[in-house]
A and B are shown apart, each in its own frame.
Chain A
């Protein structure tokens, strides 16, 4: 357990450092824009707004929020303090709603869509990759090119194709939104059903994209493991092939968990685009609207939230990994 604690603490430290850095990036990037960022922001978005008092209110609020007249370091602490209070200011495009309320409305959609989809895609992909490595021949010959094709298929392309086939063509599933337009969010059967039906297309388009890459990775890992010495020894000790394949897949799967931790950021990027195609009311779609409405505070908050989500997910996966792979414990115990 000692080794694991050390592992856990080192990961925690690393996580905190990354967190601070993510905050800093989010803080510094907009300030790298030439000129007064607040002035630029407000004037840019004022084109789309008629409410003059509203514009003035926002300007005031943002000079406050960013504290542009104060030194950089102080600005940073103000920013961090505000973020910790969930205060991201007002949204330009959805004024007078606050950024926090806009994010709050969309974040659960994204969490409930993306993480199950990525995990399901990971599981299916690993199973297929393992099968390809074990069965070889025909299955491998078909699966490999298909995996390569699918894993490099643009996420939005997959989304559009599913949408056209199952939404527009076969009309099995609705093409946009998180639930029916005529429904009000509530815990009724009709609403739930609508949510489930709307969930399918975005979900499967993310799953399909995730499958390909994972299958390729798992296949190489498994082939590598199948040539390991312990496979030969286990065979000569009379252990059944099926059981040995079990060892191999377990051992090949474990590094794949770290692989998932590393690639989750990339996958989330693709998944955001899939949300946009289906007008799914998550962060991706919110971000699209924010871009269209030149809503800087909203974009900044959304990117920060997504980064946080990815960081936490990565952290959790790595913690889990250290818990189940004995090799980590041994490496740390040295």
Chain B
């Protein structure tokens, strides 16, 4: 009994995935550095899912790639730590990461499942390669049994295994990719826009599958990346908003959507469109301007140029992430109270 209790305590204490001040960069053909992920820290605990939101080019997809701890050009690791189950993988030998982390500890679902599978290989042969890359002594039969049982549990027909990717429909392909990703029962799943290329019905099926994976304990935690905020709100427990390579807001899904603190997050949430009554009476928020070029990011707040509430010091002082009560955090020079005051004043004026 005591052991169980202790394990429970440890489980609570040590997050499944912890990232500390991770910075990665792209090196272009012209040897320019683009810091697409800039000192990002995050924590995901067991049974929790984390969503990452942001507009295109904010670095959310790069963050997904960077979290794998396995880098290839043009993406390069710069600094920071990635800790999975207490193991720091950022300093590990790439081949060790490949063998003992990828697919078994942490798995990835790519943005475009359409092209994620080798077109000239049957699904089952790819699964064989995946399994044998981690355990070369597994026999073909064992792999086939594993694949079949795993596909059946996930509600996919076993015939899919004998097919080539081109023979599958878009939604089926995406679900197959998810099934392949979790074949080695990874603890953490990183899904990068897994459903944005699909129609709404297939999207719903994919989301349902992911949620089932979480609920049935196939995976312990999930990081879900998308630009579709309503989707994110429905899928994950927590939401992080990224802007120009940095995290600007970190909160529970509900707080992030209905009570954002950072001016950018506020704008983003104000632009949500869902087919619900009352939509026609809301005024959508627009944020003028474009995100900064990450080749030479501004020295102060990255959002300063587009911010409605900008002050002269915003452009010069670099702003850190402010942690507030309840695990929330945001990146702004103003305090929580000051921000709320600004927002309520604005709402009052709009109402008049």
Contacts and interface: CB of A to CB of B under 8 A. Distances in A.
- Asked whether the complex places CB atoms of A and B closer than 8 A, the reply is yes
Count class of interface residues, chain A: 20 to 34
Contacts of B117: 230, 233
A238 B118 contact: no
Interface in A291-334: 325-327, 329-331, 333
Contacts of A228: 115
Interface string A86-115: 000000000000000000000000000000
Interface stretch (A178-186, A208-216, A239-247, A268-276): A239-247
A268 B207 CA distance: 56
A235 B70 contact: yes
A240 to B, nearest CB: 6
Nearest to B114: A229
Interface string B106-139: 0110111011111111000010011001100000
Given A237-B133, A238-B98, A330-B167, A251 B110 contact: no
A323 to B, nearest CB: 12
Contacts of B72: 235
B68 A251 contact: no
The SS class assigned to the A binding surface is: helix
A43 interface: no
A190 interface: no
A238 B101 CA distance: 8
Given A236-B102, A238-B102, A238-B104, A247 B118 contact: yes
Contacts of A31: none
Interface in B127-184: 129-130, 133-134, 164, 166-167, 177, 180-181
B99 interface: yes
A230 B118 contact: yes
A326 B129 contact: no
A302 to B, nearest CB: 40
Given A250-B120, A326-B166, A237 B102 contact: yes
Given A229-B112, A232-B110, A330-B167, A237 B119 contact: no
Interface string A134-164: 0000000000000000000000000000000
A250 B68 CA distance: 27
Contact of A251 (B116, B118, B133, B134): B118
B59 interface: no
B328 to A, nearest CB: 31
B164 A230 contact: no
B245 interface: no
Which among A230, A254, A327, A333 has the highest number of chain B CB atoms within 10 Å? Answer: A230
A234 interface: yes
Given A232-B110, A236-B102, A330 B164 contact: yes
B15 interface: no
A247 B108 contact: no
A235 B112 CA distance: 15
Nearest to A253: B120
A331 B167 CA distance: 9
B337 to A, nearest CB: 43
A233 B109 CA distance: 8
A107 to B, nearest CB: 36
Contacts, number: 81
A233 B103 contact: no
Contacts of B129: 234, 239, 243
A47 B129 CA distance: 72
Which among B68, B98, B177 has the highest number of chain A CB atoms within 10 Å? Answer: B98
Contacts of B70: 235-236
Contacts of B126: 234
Contacts of B98: 235, 238, 240
Contacts of B118: 230, 234, 247, 251
B274 to A, nearest CB: 30
B119 A327 contact: yes
A264 to B, nearest CB: 23
B269 to A, nearest CB: 31
A240 B118 CA distance: 15
A243 B166 contact: no
Contact of B130 (A237, A251, A326): A237
A252 B247 CA distance: 40
B110 A326 contact: no
Interface string B217-251: 00000000000000000000000000000000000
Nearest to B99: A238
B166 A327 contact: yes
A229 B167 contact: no
A230 B121 CA distance: 11
A238 B100 CA distance: 8
A237 B177 CA distance: 11
B206 to A, nearest CB: 16
A232 B70 CA distance: 11
A235 B166 CA distance: 21
Contacts of B102: 235-238
Which among A234, A237, A247, A329 has the highest number of chain B CB atoms within 10 Å? Answer: A237
Nearest to A324: B120
A52 B117 CA distance: 74
Contacts of A239: 129-130, 133
A233 B130 CA distance: 11
A329 to B, nearest CB: 8
Given A251-B118, A330-B166, A238 B112 contact: no
A238 B164 contact: no
B108 A326 contact: no
Given A234-B118, A238-B99, A238-B130, 18 more contacts: A229-B111, A230-B115, A232-B116, A236-B108, A236-B110, A237-B103, A237-B107, A237-B180, A238-B101, A239-B133, A251-B118, A251-B119, A254-B120, A326-B120, A326-B167, A327-B119, A329-B164, A330-B164
Interface of B: 68, 70, 72, 98-99, 101-104, 107-108, 110-112, 114-121, 126, 129-130, 133-134, 164, 166-167, 177, 180-181
Closest 4 CB pairs of A and B: A238-B102, A330-B166, A229-B115, A236-B108
13 contacts: A230-B117, A230-B119, A234-B129, A235-B72, A236-B70, A237-B102, A237-B180, A237-B181, A238-B134, A247-B120, A247-B121, A250-B120, A330-B167
